[in-house]
Amino acid sequence: MNLTVLIPTFNREKGLKNLLENLYSQGHIGEYKIVISDNHSDYDVRKMIDDNFDKSFSEIITVNKWNFNVGMSSNISISYLLVDTRWCWCISDDDKVLDGSIDTVLSDIKKFDNENITAVKYSLLNKVQHENRYINSFDDFLNYYSVKSRRGELYYLSMLYNMDNIRPYLGLLTEHSYTYISFLIPLLKGLLDGKRFFVSSRPCIEYSERADDNWSAKRYVNVMLGVRTFADIDFNISAKWQRKLLKVISQNLPLIRITGKITQQKTFFRRRLLWKNSYFMYKRNANVFMRLLCYILFVTNFDLYGLCRKIYYRHINKKAGVRI
């Protein structure tokens, strides 16, 4: 057995059950194992599996439930330490695995098993379509992902890792889990060490828009703060590459959305702190206009949330005939 399907999860019973059903329906039982990293969910994941799947499938699934909620990004990062096979396919618990995906992954393992690559990164159905190609260097990575049509694609898992080649970087991956995208570290460090990775035109996952609160104001702000700290990692690269890297990984966080989320924070101090962090993130990689806008927002601590609330209630009171 050469493959582990790794699934970080938290309180998504229906989504996880659907995902496991997708995997079960594709056969190859016994040719891979499943490891679930449960971030202390409110329900019994093991019982859900045993109640809904036959023994042959249930036996290949290991559930590791942490004793407390370790946080979303930490749950993803430390879950790689649970893998003991040469290859690991990491997927989210709320994405749909496409028919034939296990065939694709097993085929790619045979194809790339003797190559010096760190990972195979798959396309996302309904989101990003790659052309088959190797990413051979750090500069190649920056140029490839600078294209606007690939904006934000780096945030999604759907990667098949060669664990032998990324093992030297697992310490950095867990150490910098607070960045929310620490799973990119093996790709980047591997490129600097002369390894490469492959982007595949074949999609294995159908991207699903999240209907829960994962991208609520709180979560979105946390991701922004994490992405900003990605610059803390010592890749030992030039200042030019550092600026370009931060621009590439932050292009899924447009200022207009950041502005909307920060202004939903209700305390003056919290907004001020977040404006400061967003200003320092965008001033390194945005154009002059954007940097100026960030600076104005940072200095003035503009309260769009409060302003919109005042306008709304003024409108409601006016309709009700209440004098303001």
Structural domains in the chain, CATH included, are 3-206 (3.90.550.10), 217-308 (no CATH)
pLDDT < 70 positions in the chain: 1, 125-128, 149-152, 207-219, 254-257, 260, 283-287, 290-291, 298, 300-324
Tell me how many degrees the CA angle 96-223-95 measures, rounded to the nearest 5. 0
Cα(187)–Cα(181) distance, integer angstroms: 11
- Tens of pLDDT along 34-68? 999 989 888 888 888 888 888 888 888 888 988 89
Q: Where are the alpha helices (DSSP H) in the chain?
A: 13-24, 45-52, 55-58, 72-79, 101-112, 138-145, 163-166, 170-175, 185-192, 217-228, 239-250, 255-262, 268-282, 288-300, 304-319
**pLDDT the model gives residue 207:** 67
CA 4 → CA 50, 206, 259, distances in Å? 19, 20, 40
Distance, in Å, from the CA atom of 258 to the CA atom of 261, rounded to the nearest integer, reads 5
Position 100 scores a pLDDT of: 86
The residues pairing with 38 across neighbouring beta strands, listed in sequence order, are 9, 65
Q: Which pLDDT value is given to residue 145?
A: 85
| Cα–Cα distance for residue pair 192/172, rounded to 1 Å | 14
Write out pLDDT tens, residues 2-19: 899 999 988 888 888 888
C-alpha to C-alpha distances, 95 to 19, 127, 182, 231, 293, nearest whole angstrom: 7, 12, 20, 29, 36
Measured CA to CA, the distance from residue 145 to residue 308 in angstroms comes to 36
